[in-house]
Amino acid sequence: MTKTNTHIIVFGASGRMGSRLCTLASADPSCTLLAAVVRDDSPRIDQPVRETSATAPTFTNAVFCGKFRDIPRTVIVDFSSDAGVLRARALALDINASLLVGTTALSPSTVAALHAASEKISLLITPNTSIGVAALSAAVAAIARTLGPDFDCSIVEAHHAMKKDAPSGTAIRLARAAREAGASLPDNQVVALRGGDVVGEHTVRFAGAGEYIELTHRATSRDLFARGALRAAAWLAQQPPGSYTMDDVLRVNA
């Protein structure tokens, strides 16, 4: 695939993921960071996104992003909150941009509103933008289909103490992949651990008589999620209106 410039607007730009996205997008020659959106009451509004760059955009709020209407290959990347996602959705519809949502713990009404928007824009909702996690999910499904319900499945995930949702969106995704492929996985066998500064760790176990299989993904830096999000955004920018997943991104870019 020929690389062309992708225009990025980051929602939740002052958060852990948002700040890394802004930094990496600014340094990536295939991207242009159009805006870094924070809350209306944020003290960072009008401050530069990167202190070492005089040409970097400043932090702003959604109200002033309407000027980017109909710029080709614009993708809003959201790592904010349930309320922030709805603002990102409204802006995406207003300026005719694609929307990538990495925010987790979304309410059912917000998810429904997002899917309704996919009739007009290209949409990707993913609890984890890691390329490795997408591969893990596919491997879990393949093993579950092979082993069947005779093997007991369990998932243990660990994250830093500040993570609010438990189990993680990634653990829920892995559980869905296992169950849809026929694995036996009760809810009480999806275990969440919170503590320290763990970026993210997920282990899926299939235990049978006399043997077990474990698959583990460990994140050692948040940059892997930011890079995955930028890769997915570049792909999403070229898609027609509709709802997509990270599996779609990987099949096309394989």
- Supply the residues annotated as catalytic: 159, 163
Cβ neighbours, 10 Å, residue 249: 24
Residue 50, token pair as written in the block: 């990167």
Instruction: Map tokens 């955009």 to a residue.
Output: 57
Residue 207 sits at φ, ψ, to 5 deg, of -110, 125
142 within 8 A of 117, measured Cβ to Cβ:
no
Helix axes 246-253, 131-147, angle to 10 degrees: 100
Residue 71, token pair as written in the block: 């710029």
Q: How far apart are CA 29 and CA 27, in angstroms?
A: 6
